Structure 1
Amino acid sequence: MSAPIRVAVLDDYQGISEPKFKALDPSKYEVTFFKDTLLPYNHPDTPQDVKDKLVARLEPFTVISTMRERTPFPRELIARLPNLKLLLTTGNRNLALDLGAFAERGIPVAGAVDRAHAGSVGSVSTTEHCVALILAAARNLAQDDHVVKSGGWQTVPAVSLAGKVFGAVGLGRLGVAVARIMRVAFGMRVVAWSENLTQEKADEKAREAGLPVEGEDGEKTFKVVSKAELFRTADVVSVHLVLSDRSRGVIAGRDLEMMKPTAIFVNTSRGPLVVEKDLLDVLEQGKIRAAALDVFDLEPLPLNSRWRTTKWGQDGRSQVLLTPHMGYVEEATLDAWYDQQVENLLRWEKGEKLVQTLY
C-alpha cells in the first residue's frame, strides 16, 4: 500500500477548511494545518533563518493549499520545494505566486472562484467592508466603543459625509462600487484619479453603474481630476488600485501632506500601494482626521509594528481604525473556496482536468 499524499493547509485563520480536508480518506491523504503565517520568503526584512524555517515547514508536502496572498511563493522558494506537485490557492488571481516558476516545474496551480457572489473574488464583501470603514471613521465608532466600555462617555464629535467629496484613487470594479454607494446613499461628490483614467472612461463606468454621466448641476458624476487635486480636495480618500511594480508606493508623503486636516484616508486594496512610513508619520503628527486601514505592508502585522498601539487619537495623533485584512474574509466565500480546493485535489489524484487553473 502506498503512503498517503501529504497535504499542507496554510493560513486558514478561522479553521473553515478543516472539516472539508478532514473528510478526505485518511488512508490516501495526510493533512496538516498551519494557522500561523511566517514572514514572507521574499520580504527584505525576512532573515535567512526564518526563510529556512518556512522551507522546513513546506518541504515535506506534495500538495499545498494556500489562502490567496498570505504566504507568497516566489521562484526562490518554489525551487526549494522538491516534493511539491500541486498548489491550491483561493481566488482566480494570486499575484504572490510566481506562475512562471510553477509552470517550469510542471506544478499545476488551481484557483477557486467566489460562487457565493456570482463569480467575483470577494468583491461584494470588500465593498461592504470599505464602506463600513469609511462610516466607522467618520462616526468615531471604534474610539467611542472603547471609551464607553472603559467607563467614559462622549469625546470628539462625528462628521457628516453628506455633500462632501469622495476621492477614488482607482476607478475599477471596486472603486466604482464604493463610489456609487457613497454618491447615492450620502450625496457625496465623486472625484477620481489613476494614471490611465480619462473622463471618457469614467463616464462609461458611470453608465455601467446605472448612474447619469452628469448630475442636475451639470457636474460629472465621476469627475476625473489630477492626483494633486484629488488629495487636496477630497474629504475621504479611498484606495482602489491593483498592486504592481508600477503602482507600488504610488501614494507617498507628498500626496498625504496635501490632504485636508479634516480628511479621512482609507485603504482596503494593498498596503504597499502606500509608502507606509510616510502614512505613519502623517498620522502620528495628526495632520489628518483619521485613517481606516485593512491592509499593510507586512501581514500579519509584527507585534512590534508602529501600528500596534492604543495611543491613536491621543496627544495630537490622528484617529486610526485597523482591521486584519478582512475585506474578502466572508464565511460563504471562504467556504466555497475550500470546497473547490478539495474538489481540485480529488480531480488531481484521479488524473482529471482541474478547474480554475491559473496558467
Structure 2
Amino acid sequence: MPEIRRVAILDDYQGISHRYADWSALPDGARLTVFTEHLGGPEEVSAALKPFDVVVAMRERTAFPAEVLSALPNLRLLVTTGPANAAVDVAAAHRQGIVVSGTRAAGLPSTAELTWGLIHALTRSIPAEERSLREGAWQRTVGRDLCGARLGVIGLGNVGGRVARVGLAFGMDVVAWSDNLDAGHAEALGVTPVGQGELLATSDVVTLHVQLSPRTTGLIGRDELALMRRDALLVNTSRAGLVDERALLAALDSGSLGGAALDVHPAEPLPAGSPWHTAPRTVLTPHLGYVTAGTYRTFYGDALDDVLAYAAGEPVRVIAP
C-alpha cells in the first residue's frame, strides 16, 4: 500500500477545512499541513510543497503546470476539488507517475445565487447605500427596475440556465447567446435565443456563464463593450479571462459602460495596488461563487475520501490526461 507521510491542504483562506471533513481519519503517521495563505508563483509553490507526497488543491487557486510538478519529486497524489482543473497539467502529472483525483461537482446553484446578489447590488447600489447609511446619509441613489428590463445570458448551461429562470421570475425579458447554444433548450426555458451582437446591444444586464477556453478567452473585449449601452451592466461570476481587463477598465473610466460586478479577477487574491480597487461603478467580491458550506462539505469530504482511497491502493475519481 502507498505510504502517506505528509499531506498539504492549499489556499484554505478562511481556515475552515477542518470543519467540513474529519482529517483525523488520515492514515497513522500522516502529518497534515494547512496553508491558509496563497503560496504565490511557481518558485514559491515548488519550494513550499517539495516535502509533500499528497497535495489537496482548492480549484484553480494554485496552478500546477509541468514546471511545478517536475520540482516536486515526492508528490504522489494531487487532489483537486471539482471533477476537472484547467490549472493542473494532468498529462505532465501522469508522465511523472502522479495520480490526479477530483471530487464531485459542486457550487453550481451557489454561483447562480451569487450572480443575482451582484445584479441586485449593482441595480440598487446596495454597497454604496449601506456605506452611506452608516455615515449618516439617507437615500443617495435611485435604483433601477428589473421587471421589464432585458437580461442577456451568455452561456445557458447549468449556471446560466438557473440565472435565466430567476430573471424570468422577476418579469425580465431574457435572451441568451453562446457559440453552441441549443435554441430548443433556450425556448423550452422561456428564453429567446439571439445573436451575440443583438444581446450586447440591447441588454440592460449582461451576465457571463461560459467556460474559459482558448475559444472564449477575451470573449468580451473592446469591440464587444462598444456595442453595449452606456447604462448597461456587466456581471462576471465565471472566469476573469473571458473579459479583456484593460478594455473593461477603460470603458468604466470613460463612462461608456454603466457598471460591472466581478467575482473573478485576473490575479487572485487581488493584489495590493490593483486598479480594480479604485475602479468606478463596480461591485467586487473575492471569488465567492462556490464558497458555501454545502460546496465545501462536498469538496473537502470527497478530497479526504480520495486520499484514503489512494492510501488503500484503490484511487478513486482519477482524472485521465
TM-score (normalised: structure 1) = 0.84
Would you say the 8 A contact 2:212–2:241 is kept in 1?
Answer: yes
CA distance in 1, matches of 2:22, 2:58: 14
Q: What are the residue-to-residue correspondences of 1:344-359 with 2, within 5 Å?
A: 344-351=306-313, 353-359=314-320
User: Residue in 2 aligned with 1:29?
Assistant: 30
Which one scores higher on RCO, CA 8 angstroms, separation ≥ 6? 2
Give, in angstroms, the shift of residue 4 of structure 1. Answer: 6.4
Identify the residue that residue 172 of structure 1 maps to in structure 2.
157
Find the partner of 2:274 among 302, 305, 316: 305
> 1:250 & 1:17 partners in 2: Cα distance?
35
Q: 2:85 & 2:230 partners in 1: Cα distance?
A: 36
Q: Measure the CA separation in 2 of the matches of 1:125 and 1:355.
A: 26
Match of 2:60 in 1: 69
The answer as to whether partners of 2:175 and 2:192 remain within 8 angstroms in 1 is yes
RMSD between aligned alpha carbons?
A: 1.9
Q: Does the 8 A contact of 1:161 with 1:188 survive in 2?
A: yes
Residue in structure 2 matched with residue 11 of structure 1 by the alignment? 11
Q: Which residue of 2 aligns with 1:324?
A: 286
User: What is the Cα deviation at residue 284 of structure 1?
Assistant: 1.7
2:233 to 264, 269, 272: 264
Listed as ranges, the gaps of 5+ residues in structure 2 are: none
Q: What does 1:1-359 align with in structure 2 at a 5 Å threshold?
A: 5-18=5-18, 20=21, 22-24=23-25, 27-39=28-40, 41=41, 51-113=42-104, 120-183=105-168, 185-197=169-181, 201-207=182-188, 211=189, 221-309=190-278, 312=279, 317=280, 319-351=281-313, 353-359=314-320
- Bigger drift between 257-266 and 23-32 goes to 23-32
CA distance in structure 1 between the aligned counterparts of 2:219 and 2:185, rounded to whole angstroms? 25
SS in 2 for 1:167: strand
TM-score by length of 2: 0.94
The number of residue pairs the alignment matches comes to: 318
Contact 2:59/2:80 (8 A) holds in 1: yes
Report the residue type matching 1:140 in the other structure.
Answer: S
Q: Partners in 1 of 2:150 and 2:36 — Cα distance?
A: 41
CA contact (8 A) 1:16 1:334 kept: no
User: What residue in structure 2 maps to residue 44 of structure 1?
Assistant: none
Q: Aligned residues: percent identity? A: 41
Q: 1:3 to 1:181 in 2, by over 3 A?
A: closer
Q: Counterpart of 1:308 in 2: which secondary structure?
A: helix
Letter aligned with residue 73 of structure 1: F
Question: CA deviation digits over 1:26-55, x for unaligned, max 9?
Answer: 85111111111134x4xxxxxxxxx32221
**Partner amino acid for 1:344?**
D
Q: Take 1:320 and 1:135, find their aligned partners in 2: how far apart are those partners?
A: 12
91-100 vs 10-19, which moves further: 10-19
Mark the CA change 1:228 to 1:25 in structure 2 (over 3 Å): closer, same or farther: closer
Return the offset for 1:225.
Answer: 2.1
Q: Runs of 4 or more off by more than 4 Å in structure 1? A: none
